[in-house]
Each structure stands twice: as C-alpha cells, then as structure tokens.
C-alpha cells in the first residue's frame, strides 16, 4: 500500500541547539534505515519550508502509524497522510 505523507517540523523554542542537532541525527539514522528496507520509497524537501513529502510503501495503516509515530522527531511534527491508488492513465 502506498501513502503520501507531508511532515511539517516545528521545534519548540525552549529546545537547545544541541538537542535539535541530536534529534536530527537520530531522525536521519531512522529515516535512512526505512529507505534501506524500502518502506520509505522516497523523501523530498518542500522548497523553502522545514517540511517534506514522503512516499511510504507498507502493508497496512497500522504499520504506517507505527513507522510515523516512531520517528524521533514525531512529537515535533504535524503529519498529513494521503492514501494513494493507481491512476488509470498511469503507464507504470
Ligand atoms: O527533515 C525533515 O523533513 C524531518 C524528517 C522526517 C523524516 C526525515 O528523514 O526527516
């Protein structure tokens, strides 16, 4: 099952620069592991925003929820998920 997720990141003002850097390191590690195993099929930065569009390829809604809620920066992200179906005009 394919899902498009938009993730908007907003760190609280009280978080130190060191905490933010540490969090971003953990996030990178987790994100790259998901990309390695294919569940995070692609990730794109939204130009000019601290946000991304990501395509997930997973078995179920429950699996996607598990993945999203395990992102180290999950408490600091607003996430909007759109389920994707095959377009009838697609050649792939
Ligand atoms: O930098 C971001 O867009 C936030 C974060 C969410 C997944 C990921 O790899 O990074």
Contact 27 CB / ligand 1 (< 6 Å): yes
pLDDT of residue 19: 96
Contact call for residues 52 and 41 (beta carbons, < 8 A): no
Helix or strand (DSSP H, E) at 51: strand 51-57
Contact 41 CB / ligand 1 (< 6 Å): no
What is the residue with the minimal CA distance to atom 5 of ligand 1? 27
CA torsion through residues 41, 81, 6, 10, sign:
negative
> In whole angstroms, what is the distance from residue 18 CA to residue 2 CA?
35
Residue with tokens 């607003």: 78
Query: For the segment 42-58, what is each residue's pLDDT rounded down to a tens digit?
Result: 999 999 999 999 999 99
Domains and CATH numbers, the chain: 2-84 (3.30.70.1060)
Contact 31 CB / ligand 1 (< 6 Å): yes
Q: What is the ipTM of this complex?
A: 0.95
Query: For the segment 73-86, what is each residue's pLDDT rounded down to a tens digit?
Result: 999 999 999 999 99
């Amino acid at each position: 099952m394919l899902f498009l997720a938009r993730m908007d990141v907003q760190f609280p003002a009280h978080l130190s620069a060191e905490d933010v850097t540490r969090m971003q390191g953990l996030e990178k590690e987790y994100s790259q592991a998901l990309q390695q195993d294919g569940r995070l099929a692609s990730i794109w930065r939204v130009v000019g925003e601290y946000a991304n569009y990501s395509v997930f390829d997973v078995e179920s809604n429950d699996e996607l929820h598990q993945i999203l809620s395990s992102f180290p920066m999950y408490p600091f992200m607003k996430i909007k998920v759109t389920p994707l179906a095959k377009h009838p005009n697609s050649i792939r």
